[in-house]
Amino acid sequence: MNHLRAKDWAALKPPLLRFLDACHADFAAETGGNVADYIPELGKADPDHFGISLATLDGHVYEVGDSRIPFTIQSMSKPFVFALALDTLGAARVENAIGVEPSGDPFNSIRLNADNHPFNPMVNAGAITCSGLIREAKGDGAFEYIRSALGRFAGRELGVDEAVFTSESTTGDRNRAIGYLLRTNSVLKEDVSKVLEVYFRQCAILVTARDIAVMAATLANRGKNPVTGEQVMTPYAISRTLSVMTSSGMYDYAGEWIYRVGIPAKSGVGGGILAALPARLGLGSYSPKLDSHGNSVRGIGVCEALSAHYDLHMLNRSDDARNSIIADYNIGKSPSRRSRRPHERHILATHHQAVRIIELVGPLTFSNVDYISRQLAAKPRPQFVIFDLRRVAAMTRAGVRLLAEEFQELAAFNVTVILSGVRRSSADWKLIKEQAKGLTNLRDFYLLDTAIEWAEDQVVYRHGGAIDFHETTGLSEQPLLAGLSASEIEEIAALGAMRSYRSGERIVAAGDPSTSLFFLVSGVVHVSLPDGVRLATLTAGTAFGEMALLETYRTADVLADMSATALEIPLDAFERYREKHPRVGERIMRNLAQLLAERLIVANTKVDLLTAP
């Protein structure tokens, strides 16, 4: 059997990077197309430059070839400035000035639609109008406002190629004609020359293929830069921008593009192409040789290959809502980790269907929530339903709104909804609270076990029980000492000393030597891992620290939930007692084995719930 040597392993490449390498090698041989020369300075670009970059939504960036070579953004600035205009002036103002229909004409066509407005913001007339709207709002600071916004999309400050700006200004008569046509029809309110200066300068902003990939990934990530974590634009502005990119981003090649590639995209005559696949990735490429439509020949080849190879066409999604539920169970199959008194256990066993737990995974989308609601209705109505969201990767507004409407329906049936796994400081929680405003049947706990424990307590109360934090009178109720005689228990009790603990006090610390075991006499304690994950909640009549009988060092923390007392028995004294009374020692170890077996059964049940088909 072959094994990778250490040096071989270090050279191992992710499959996606290997694919981009292959694309670069394949399309580098493509010699078709011509470098744009109608702007003289663009004609100086090296036709052999070729870079590809891909950014994922978790902030990882792949780069191949000339991915760090700067070039001017040109028309790839259009979607970002359109989004900026929507956020700056409001949708009503922008949408009243610019249409959203494909034109079918070249990008620099001197033509308006039937309303004498630009067809869309991706053609020059629409882009010039966007620049004019920004200047209308920001005056002489308009360009710096645009440059700053594009920098936030890229995750760094972007410069300007002054030579290209001068070249575009000198040769931009066609754009001047478009500008005056817009002014004549009252689309532009500002001085045409000043608006065009902003437009020419924004087109001359310098970017790299890597920048474009991050900018595209920000579009794909609903306006949040996956590298910096900054929310650059509102989701509204981003969704509208992607819509227009889908229909018009590739000019008079847009129909063919969306048919063959199926990813919202925008090209620039500087040789760049950006493609933003929502909720997936952002792609940036640079190669200056263009086809007859003004699109990079190699860039189109890369996008087509990526879409075809990984089946990324946006209308060929295969997400299955049935995969959104990873586990669906009640407290009869997986109760909380709280130790319960016999009368509590009896009530919870009798009413185990009163608490239903649904653990969710993946994105919380419209179709996923619809499926979840139907699964909820397919089983007997619980008194409490817990939605565990800790594995939910993202929440859409449509999904959360439908979920809030489900909460309202459950409230009508007197079902209490409990959420777990969402921090109150998160954007997801704010979205939930916004959509579920006014609901009185909604509770939340960050830890799932805490949520289950709270629901169990309510069931006990509702069915005539009580959660009594009693004080035991001896050790006879201790499962670890089951089967021992009263005199034997008294001898064991005499080995230790009574300790008192304040609420929140750490009784046992992970990593410390195991020197004693404890029998809880009153109060409540909890056992947790060092990272804060709660393993168990213990009440009077149970032991803790008993793993000292098997392990040299503590593996978990024990903290008092409220004032507590416990009998602490030094391990060396306990061991001497076991040597003196081997039959008793054997019985205690058998009891410990039984307790461990019961814990293993509970753990296995949980695994079965998570792996059930």
Q: Which residues are annotated as a binding site for substrate?
A: 75, 124, 168, 175, 199, 251, 269
Exactly one of 62, 164, 214, 251 is catalytic; which is it?
Answer: 251
Cα distances from 576 to residues 227, 486, 492, in angstroms, run 61, 19, 11
Euclidean distance between the first and final Cα of the chain, in Å?
Answer: 34
Exactly one of 53, 67, 75, 336 is catalytic; which is it?
Answer: 75
Give the integer Cα–Cα distance in Å for 87 and 532.
Answer: 41
Exactly one of 35, 78, 285, 355 is catalytic; which is it?
Answer: 78
Give the integer Cα–Cα distance in Å for 19 and 210.
Answer: 17
Exactly one of 269, 297, 459, 525 is catalytic; which is it?
Answer: 269
Query: Which of 252, 391, 342 is closest to 541 using CA atoms?
Result: 342
269 is a catalytic site residue: yes
What is the identity of the amino acid at 507?
Answer: I
Q: What is the three-class DSSP state of 445?
A: strand
199 is a catalytic site residue: yes
Dihedrals φ, ψ of 279, to 5°? 65, 15
Exactly one of 62, 199, 329, 501 is catalytic; which is it?
Answer: 199
Give the integer Cα–Cα distance in Å for 393 and 47.
Answer: 42
A 10 A CB-CB count for 559 gives 18
251 is a catalytic site residue: yes
Give the integer Cα–Cα distance in Å for 202 and 150.
Answer: 9
Torsion of CA 235, 237, 243, 246, to 10 degrees: -100
Q: What is the three-class DSSP state of 391?
A: strand
Give the integer Cα–Cα distance in Å for 125 and 112.
Answer: 8
Give the integer Cα–Cα distance in Å for 419 and 407.
Answer: 11
Q: E strand or H helix at 324, and its extent?
A: none
The DSSP-derived string for 158-224 is: --B-HHHHHHHHHH-HHHHHHHHHHHHTTS--S-HHHHHHHHHHHHTBEE-HHHHHHHHHHHHTTTB
Give the integer Cα–Cα distance in Å for 402 and 436.
Answer: 10
A 10 A CB-CB count for 309 gives 11
The Cα diameter of the chain in Å comes to 106
Annotated binding-site members: 75, 124, 168, 175, 199, 251, 269
Task: Return the active site residues.
Answer: 75, 78, 199, 251, 269
